[in-house]
Amino acid sequence: MGWVLNAPPEVDDESQYPTIIAICVVLSLISMAGVSSRLWIRHRSRGLASDDWMACLSMIFALAYAVLCIAQTRYGLGLPVASRPEENLVAYTKVNFAGRPIYQIGISFFKIALLISYLRLLQGTTQRTYRVIVYVTMVLVFLAHLGCAFSLIFACTPVEKSWNPLMEGSCLAPGPSFTAYAVVTIVSDIVVAVLPIPMLLALNIQFEKKLGLIGIFALGLFTTVCSILRYLQINRIQHGDGNTTMLILWGVIEFNVGNLVSSLPFLAPIFIKKAKEYRSKQSSGSGSGGDKDKGGCIGFKSSEGYKLSDRGNTRSVFVSADRTRGPTTSSIESML
């Protein structure tokens, strides 16, 4: 018996299910490792905050979406529409329908996690207007994706036709509705990615460090690339062979990349610290045997990383880790 249900061997061999399963499993494991590391680091250092819980929620939704993606391969995902067994149509549509709101609501969570991180960057500052903008963006992002989820759930009349295409009824045209969903996703991706840039540009830190921080948060634009590539599949669905394989697969990629990007600000300082410790060990082994702390390569406080402050912390987000150098120096704690 092959992987695709009710399919003859030649059709089963045609399916791209091995590639789909590999992508879903590998990306899910990497994403889970990244988010779990972030949660462990935060729990050990300062305790979990609301953005950590949102990242955890996004990870759970991403895992559920990947599982549903794999389940769809049993019913024909990965095959051209014409090759999919007709017996699997209703079962496939039910699983596909279940994944739609999970995707829309789930991707809002990693965006909200990033936005809450921005609020912690503003902790202790006087930028009230900017803080209000972040709160408003957070609400709009969630409501926009929630609206898309409801639109997907109630796209057909009667609703049951959404998971039973053999029923009589009518549904929203896939082209315009999918375009609207894509616009919401792409615009929110861009807004969330560029929102912290003006604030980061205003920081009184070294130019290279400023660029590094901007670069970390701007990586969120990569999810925009995934959204655009996902949107490009709509034309294939509407005017081509109707194959939704890449549409769903790009959703899995976007979901997991977004989770990684939202956790990267908390993981990057650890890698920087370990790299500096490794370089310090190499240099100390080559010769001098002097005080390892003199070169500023050992210890987290002597590195020039940055941290996101705790929500409960009343100090400015970027505080000096070296009391002797004053509050305006660029020797700042890591982003933990």
Number of domains in the chain: 1
pLDDT the model gives residue 308 = 47
User: Whole-angstrom Cα distance, residue 130 to residue 141?
Assistant: 16
Q: Could you report the per-residue pLDDT of 139-186, keeping only the tens digit for each? A: 999 999 999 999 999 999 999 999 999 999 999 988 888 889 999 999
pLDDT band (50, 70, 90) for residue 99: very high
Residue 214 domain-assigned? Answer: yes
pLDDT the model gives residue 15 = 93
Q: What is the mean pLDDT of the chain?
A: 81
Q: Which of 103-112, 142-151, 187-196 shows the lowest per-residue confidence on average (mean pLDDT)? A: 187-196
User: Whole-angstrom Cα distance, residue 332 to residue 288?
Assistant: 28
Residue 18 domain-assigned? Answer: yes
Residue 326 domain-assigned? Answer: no
Q: Could you report the per-residue pLDDT of 236-273, keeping only the tens digit for each? A: 777 777 788 888 999 999 999 999 988 887 887 777 77
Pairing of strands 170-171, 156-157: antiparallel
The residue assigned the tokens 């009589």 is: 168
Spatial neighbors of 133 by CB under 8 A, at least 6 apart, are 195
Residue 318 domain-assigned? Answer: no
Residue 84 domain-assigned? Answer: yes
Smallest CA-to-CA distance from 110 within 219, 237, 233 is with 219
Q: How many CA atoms lie within 13 A of 73 on its CB side?
A: 24
pLDDT band (50, 70, 90) for residue 327: very low
The residue assigned the tokens 């929110």 is: 188
**Residue 64: enclosing H or E segment and its boundaries?**
helix 50-73
Q: Which of 158-167, 206-215, 305-314 shows the lowest per-residue confidence on average (mean pLDDT)? A: 305-314
Residue 91 domain-assigned? Answer: yes
Residue 271 domain-assigned? Answer: no
pLDDT beyond 70 at 336: no
Q: How many CA atoms lie within 13 A of 296 on its CB side?
A: 8
Provide the CATH number for the domain around residue 184: 1.20.1070.10
pLDDT band (50, 70, 90) for residue 13: very high
Residue 320 domain-assigned? Answer: no
Q: What is the mean pLDDT of residues 38-63?
A: 92
pLDDT the model gives residue 323 = 35
Q: Which domain holds residue 178?
A: 9-264
